[in-house]
Structure formats: C-alpha cells, structure tokens
C-alpha cells in the first residue's frame, strides 16, 4: 500500500531526531502480551499482541512417514494467513507472497535454532514420525506482523502436548497426554529491523512499515554464553549497506538482552500456571 508522501516525509523527519509518531525511540518495542489456551481443539495455541498487532498460532500434531534423508527425525510445516479480518488491504483466497514469506521466515528461525529435538519425534525409524503443523493467523495488522507471528509460534510450541495414539500409531484427536514437545531451553527470538530513509528502527506500526524501504529479519538464540544468529532474511529491493548491517547486528544483541528475558518470564509464568492447574 502506498503511503502519502507527506506522511512518509513526516516519519523520516521525526526519525532524524530519534523520534517516532507514537513517541517511541527508534529501537523501542510496543507492549508485548502473550496468552495461551486459545483453542480447545489444537495441541497448543497462543495469541501474541505487539501494540495493536495481533497474531494467533495453532499447533497440530500428526504422524507420517519420514523423509528419506531424515529417516529418524520428525518434520514441521508452517502456514500463514492474512485474511480480510486483519486489514482492508488483504483479500480472500490462496496465500499471497507476503503470507508465504512470513511462514518461511518463521519456519526457518525455529528450524535453524535447534529449538526442537527432531530425533525425539521419531516413533519408528524409517516408518513413522511426528509431524508438527504450525498455523498462523493474523487477526489485526498494525505493523510488524512477522515478529508477532514468530513469537506466537514459539509460545504455542512451548505449551503443546502430544495427543494419544492407538496401537496402529493413529492419532486419537481430542485426547491428550501430559507429554510436551522435546524442546531445548534456548528459545529463538525473531527481530526485524526496518530501514526508512537513512534510519533503522524496530517494531514499526502500520504507517512506519508502509514508509519503509527495506527490512532485515534475524532469528537469535543463546544456547551458550554467546548470542548467535540462526537465520537472516532480507526484504524489499533497497540495499542495506555494510555499516547499516553492522549496526543492525549490534542493536539486535541489545534488543535480545532487553526483550528476551521479559518474554521468557511471561512464557514461564504461563507454563507454571498450566502445570499447577
């Protein structure tokens, strides 16, 4: 969607003074809210709100024949839907390029982080493994849906429980065990930086995202002392310079240290509540 030139000029003018139209600094996030248990039918669900942006993630588990090059490992498929309910800019129908890209970026960030122990999803080597299906739905698009979708997927995976299976390894839907997914402690955090003019910022609202010329998404985790980058995805045609890339990497580490502890604390509170109840 094309943003009126006057609006874009105003956004760029404010950013030069490290100010934004909602009074945040360039690298400030809006308030982040996490909720789980959205659906009674999925193996795991989560709703994430970043400001007014809202995404729901649902996890379904099924069994399948493993891929021939990963005979003792589970699989994962991620899908994303931007429906007309989240914004007037979206139309009904098959997923468009933005939905496909969002799903792939979220999938890659989780997959490359080592967050899931794929071998523990094996039921019978060469014959049967668990398949994780992540469905993402944007409920309201007020900018930065990508980061909200990635966080919703991680939160939903955290609370997912295995369903029961019968003697033929068929899933008995609606009947759950207490067994959680084999997840590692180093949860990935996806952070997207947007370039507007000569300025770099985090977590844009809808107007700021429309004014952006490029974006760079990083999936970060901290399996040991060092924070590592698991994956990167460049968006839009405007290039990001070498100095800008170095600045983004430095700011991503700061954001990870600032945002991540609070997010993990919120998720752990949810897990503790579910365990006790």
Sorted by where each begins, the domain ranges of the chain are: 18-276
Q: Can you identify the CATH homologous superfamily of domain 18-276?
A: GHMP Kinase, N-terminal domain (3.30.230.70)
Task: Note the pLDDT tens digit of each residue in 30-78.
Answer: 999 999 989 888 999 999 999 999 999 999 999 999 999 999 999 999 9
Name the burial class of residue 160, with classes exposed (0-12), middle (13-18) and buried (19+) by CB atoms within 10 angstroms of its CB. Answer: buried
Interstrand relation of 75-82 and 128-140 (parallel, antiparallel or unpaired): parallel
Coil, strand or helix at 104: helix
Overall average pLDDT of the 221-229 stretch: 91
Half-sphere exposure of 46 (CA within 13 A, CB side): 24
Q: CA-CA distances (angstroms) from residue 35 to 12, 25, 107, 140, 234?
A: 34, 26, 21, 16, 29
Task: Note the pLDDT tens digit of each residue in 123-171.
Answer: 999 999 999 999 999 999 999 999 999 999 999 999 999 999 888 778 8
Question: Alpha-carbon distance 32 to 55, whole Å?
Answer: 12
Backbone φ and ψ of 52, nearest 5°: -95, -5
Residue from 30, 11, 29, 12 nearest 21 by CA: 11
What was the pLDDT predicted at 4? 60
């Amino acid at each position: 969607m094309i943003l009126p030139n006057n609006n874009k000029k105003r956004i760029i003018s404010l950013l030069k003074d490290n100010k934004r139209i909602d009074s945040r600094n360039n690298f400030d996030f809006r308030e982040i809210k996490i909720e789980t248990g959205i659906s009674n039918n999925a193996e795991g669900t989560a709703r994430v709100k970043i400001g007014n942006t809202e995404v729901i993630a649902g996890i379904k588990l099924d069994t399948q024949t493993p891929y021939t090059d990963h005979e003792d490992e589970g699989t994962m498929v991620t899908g994303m839907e931007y429906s007309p309910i989240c914004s007037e800019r979206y139309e009904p129908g098959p997923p468009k390029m933005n939905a496909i890209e969002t799903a792939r970026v979220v999938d890659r960030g989780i997959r490359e982080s080592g967050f899931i122990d794929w071998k523990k999803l094996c039921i019978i080597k060469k014959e049967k493994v668990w398949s994780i299906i992540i469905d993402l739905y944007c409920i309201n698009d007020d900018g930065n849906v990508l980061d909200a979708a990635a966080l919703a997927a991680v939160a939903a995976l955290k609370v997912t429980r295995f369903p029961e299976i019968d003697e033929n390894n068929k899933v008995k839907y609606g009947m759950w065990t207490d067994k959680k997914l084999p997840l590692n402690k180093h949860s990935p955090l996806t952070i997207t930086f947007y370039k507007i003019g000569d300025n770099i910022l985090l977590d844009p609202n809808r107007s700021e995202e429309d004014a952006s010329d490029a974006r760079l998404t990083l999936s970060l985790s901290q399996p040991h002392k060092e924070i590592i980058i698991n994956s990167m995805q460049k968006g839009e045609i405007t290039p990001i310079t070498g100095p800008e890339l170095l600045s983004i990497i430095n700011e991503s580490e700061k954001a990870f240290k600032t945002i991540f502890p609070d997010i993990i604390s919120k998720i752990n509170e949810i897990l503790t509540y579910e365990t006790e109840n």
